């Protein structure tokens, strides 16, 4: 039983952060409450807001001298996080760090600990790493909590659960944990965001959830956030008359979300301005994109508004100091987002993967196809076999896994038209294959569900209660070079061996059967793979056709020992309590010769 006073949940979002907490007063959880977060909203002006925008503004020297970024607990703060960062960054985008969370998961040689953000900023502008930016958001939350609580209630001393996308691989999870530790949150647990969203729904329903869900149900969580689309499936089972929930599948990491929608709206408004004879340079277009974000959020949150005004500073000698004015209409907002991002599509539709140009600018690998419904169709088709493992109800001959319920998460789904389109498309697919329409699990607080669900989970973890079973969301494999004669121009054949099967529980450890040779004393490349569909592979299972797997970034390392020696070792895998994966190569004498944590992403 926890001796701490609060169960705390933190949603480290791509566009907004939130913090929820509940006191450990009784065995039964108290409904989590959202904490208002003090932050700079205008130069030198601090206000409490329920969300902390996930933006970091790196001011110039003149702004620092004016004390624009001072906080009650830090008068000399030399950067801004939150609402002022977003507002000022829309005017000076070269100094604004955004989408840091998305950079943590980029599969490339990008140095996540290197000072690369703001991406594309000119020389002379201060930069920070994606890890440092994430640290600053979490540090702000910790400082805000500590400033409003007593000395004995510091955030670092509470039961803290920090959320990550279900699609985050072990490397991105470890980088998130590293940012949390750097922010002073040593004792925290990671939880997948779709699970947190479902926990929030369970918390709101209390024991009545057992009457709303039944054994055989499959809950599809559609989470469209600021930067990502996260898809997960949860199956409801029954053991000895008691219902339980098991996470059975997660989707790929899809960089498609509110950021894309803001950009689409900006292009639409830009076209309207140009039709009126006005032109926008790149800086103005970036400012317009941020203005469209605010207009979108205001129109979604206020049903009484039909339009929202947009004002842009004009440029050029004739318009010095002038302002370009326009507006975003609700009708336009809905049509652009519904038809552009949630088009009607058949279940056999798949995201378009256009042929890429040979050279491209470096940056985030955004999804090429903006149609969320097509990504959903692909996901459900891939996961057809997931239901059988949990005795879920998908009819024989089905071409995709049939969900029975859908839970929405993410601020974009404040627009009922977007929820309605997803339900319409799902039901069309289900009807074609003889299944009942989905039931919508409603009543979700779309802005705060993840933080509230994380707080509820913290209570469940400490005091007991309904738990969503999960484990690793993928199976993981290590590449092993086969012994074969050398052939000019032909690389040595390679097979993959399972080191962590699908669903391996956090905190568990296992040894692979048999031995293999570890190259020692010289640099070697270690290859790793994953799969979201191979559910029956056990530890040590071999995959000869590695094309069936998704390759992860290789790791270059030098194992200790005599140069060129092939040392007999066995592999030990460990899924840590926070969900990262560690592999160790153990010699016969028990000595560890190599260790991989999946937190180093080097070519």
Q: Of 374 and 506, which is predicted with more confidence? A: 374
- pLDDT band per the 50, 70, 90 thresholds, residue 329: very high
Token couple for 474:
């993928």
Residues in a beta bridge with 480: 495
Q: Is the pLDDT of residue 317 over 80?
A: no
What burial class does residue 151 get, using C-beta atoms within 10 Å of its C-beta: 0-12 exposed, 13-18 middle, 19+ buried? exposed
pLDDT score, position 357: 47
Sequence-distant (≥ 6) Cβ neighbours of residue 319 within 8 angstroms = none
Residue 549 · residue 496 · CB < 8 Å: yes
Percent with pLDDT over 90 in the chain = 48
Residue 22 pLDDT more than 90? Answer: yes
Please give the angle made by the CA atoms of 101, 179 and 167, to the nearest 5 degrees.
40
pLDDT value at position 488? 78
pLDDT at residue 340, as a whole number: 93
Mean pLDDT for the stretch of residues 267-289: 89
Average pLDDT over residues 594-599: 67
State how far the Cα of 193 lies from the Cα of 444, in Å rounded to an integer.
14
Q: Are 172 and 105 in contact (CB under 8 A)?
A: yes
- Residue 245 structure tokens: 């929930």
Q: What is the mean pLDDT of residues 132-146?
A: 98
pLDDT of residue 359: 41
Instruction: Give the pLDDT score at 552.
Output: 82
* Residue 347 pLDDT level (bands cut at 50, 70, 90): very high
User: Does residue 60 register a pLDDT over 50?
Assistant: yes
pLDDT tens-digit series, residues 75-127 = 999 999 999 999 898 888 889 999 899 888 775 557 788 899 998 888 888 89
pTM: 0.85
DSSP string covering 418-466: HHHHHHHHHHHHHHHTT-PPPEE-----TTTHHHHHHHHHHHHHHH---
When mean pLDDT is compared across 34-43, 71-80, 521-530, the lowest value belongs to 521-530
Lowest mean pLDDT of 53-67, 323-337, 381-395, 485-499, name the range: 381-395
pLDDT tens for each residue of 349-391:
999 876 544 444 456 777 889 999 999 999 999 998 776 655 5
Per-residue model confidence (pLDDT) at position 136: 98
Note the pLDDT of residue 1: 46
* Least trusted range by pLDDT, from 153-167, 216-230, 280-294: 280-294
Asked if residue 346 has pLDDT above 90, the reply is: yes
Per-residue pLDDT averaged across 165-182, rounded?
89
Task: Please give the pLDDT value at position 603.
Answer: 26
Q: Could you tell me the two tokens for 580? A: 């990262």
Residues, the chain, total? 603
* Whole-number Å distance between alpha carbons of 458 and 162: 10
Q: Phi first, then psi: what are they for 386, rounded to 5°?
A: -70, -30
Asked whether the predicted pLDDT for residue 508 surpasses 70, the reply is yes
Q: Is the pLDDT of residue 600 over 50?
A: no
23-27, 136-140, 150-154, 589-593: least confident range: 23-27
Provide the percentage of residues in the chain whose pLDDT is more than 70: 92
Q: Which of 137-141, 437-441, 495-499 has the lowest mean pLDDT?
A: 495-499
- Mean pLDDT, rounded, for 548-561: 82
Structure tokens at 603: 């070519």
Q: Give the CA dihedral 106, 174, 552, 355, nearest 10 degrees.
A: -20
Backbone angles phi, psi at 547, to 5 degrees: -65, -20
pLDDT for position 164:
93
* Backbone region of residue 598 per phi and psi (left: phi > 0; alpha: psi in -120 to 50; beta: other values): left
- What is the pLDDT confidence band of residue 395, given thresholds at 50, 70 and 90? confident
Lowest mean pLDDT among 34-43, 154-163, 544-553: 544-553
pLDDT at position 264 over 90: yes
Least confident residue range of 42-46, 66-70, 391-395, 487-491: 391-395
Residue 340 contacts residue 258 (beta carbons within 8 Å): no
pLDDT at residue 266 in the model: 94
């Amino acid at each position: 039983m926890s001796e701490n006073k609060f169960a705390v949940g933190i949603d480290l979002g791509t566009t907004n952060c939130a913090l929820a907490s509940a006191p450990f007063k009784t065995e039964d959880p108290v409904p989590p409450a959202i904490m208002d977060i003090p932050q700079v909203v205008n130069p030198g002006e601090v206000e409490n807001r329920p969300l902390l925008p996930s933006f970091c503004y790196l001011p110039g020297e003149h702004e620092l001298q004016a004390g624009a970024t001072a906080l009650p607990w830090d008068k000399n703060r030399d950067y801004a996080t939150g609402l002022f960062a977003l507002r000022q960054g829309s005017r000076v985008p070269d100094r604004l760090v955004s989408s840091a969370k998305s950079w943590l998961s980029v599969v490339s040689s990008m140095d996540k600990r290197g000072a690369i953000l703001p991406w594309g900023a000119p020389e002379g502008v201060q930069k920070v790493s994606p890890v440092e930016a994430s640290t600053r958001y979490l540090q702000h939350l910790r400082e805000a909590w500590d400033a409003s609580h007593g000395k004995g209630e510091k955030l670092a001393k509470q039961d803290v659960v920090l959320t990550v996308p279900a699609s985050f691989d072990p490397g991105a999870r470890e980088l998130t944990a590293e940012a949390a530790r750097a922010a002073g949150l040593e004792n925290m647990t990671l939880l997948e965001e779709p699970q947190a969203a479902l926990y929030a729904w369970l918390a709101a329903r209390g024991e009545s959830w057992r009457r709303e869900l039944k054994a055989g149900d499959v809950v599809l969580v559609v989470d469209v956030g600021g930067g990502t689309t996260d898809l997960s499936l949860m199956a409801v089972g029954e053991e000895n008359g008691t219902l339980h929930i098991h996470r059975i599948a997660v989707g790929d990491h899809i960089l498609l979300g509110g950021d894309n929608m803001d950009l689409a709206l900006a292009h639409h408004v830009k076209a309207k301005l140009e039709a009126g004879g006005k032109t926008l340079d790149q800086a103005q277009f970036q400012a317009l994109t941020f203005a469209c974000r605010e207009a979108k959020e205001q129109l979604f949150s206020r049903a009484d508004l039909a339009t929202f005004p947009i004002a842009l500073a004009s440029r050029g000698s004739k318009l010095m100091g002038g302002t370009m004015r326009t507006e975003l209409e609700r009708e336009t907002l809905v049509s652009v987002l519904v038809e552009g991002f949630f088009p009607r599509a058949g279940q056999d539709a798949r995201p378009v993967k256009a042929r890429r140009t040979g050279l491209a600018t470096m940056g985030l690998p955004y999804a090429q196809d903006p149609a969320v419904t097509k990504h959903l169709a692909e996901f459900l088709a891939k996961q057809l076999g997931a239901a059988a493992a949990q005795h879920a109800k998908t009819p024989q001959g089905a071409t995709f896994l049939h969900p029975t319920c859908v839970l929405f998460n993410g601020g974009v789904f404040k627009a009922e038209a977007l929820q309605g389109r997803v339900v319409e498309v799902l039901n069309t697919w289900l009807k074609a294959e003889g299944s009942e329409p989905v039931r919508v699990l409603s009543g979700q607080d779309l802005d705060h569900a993840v933080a509230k669900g994380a707080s509820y989970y913290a209570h469940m973890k400490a005091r007991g209660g309904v738990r969503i079973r999960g484990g690793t969301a993928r199976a993981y494999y290590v590449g092993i070079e086969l012994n074969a004669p050398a052939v000019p121009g032909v690389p040595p054949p390679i097979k993959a061996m399972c080191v962590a099967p699908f669903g391996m529980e956090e905190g568990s450890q296992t040894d692979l059967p048999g031995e293999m040779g570890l190259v020692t004393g010289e640099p070697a490349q270690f290859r790793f793979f994953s799969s979201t569909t191979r559910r029956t592979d056990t530890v040590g299972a071999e995959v000869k056709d590695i094309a069936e797997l998704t390759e992860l970034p290789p790791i270059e390392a030098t194992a200790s020992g005599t140069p060129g020696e092939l040392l007999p070792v066995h592999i030990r895998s460990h899924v840590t309590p926070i969900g990262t994966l560690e592999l160790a190569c153990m010699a016969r004498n028990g000595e560890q010769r190599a260790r991989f944590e999946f937190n180093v992403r080097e070519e």
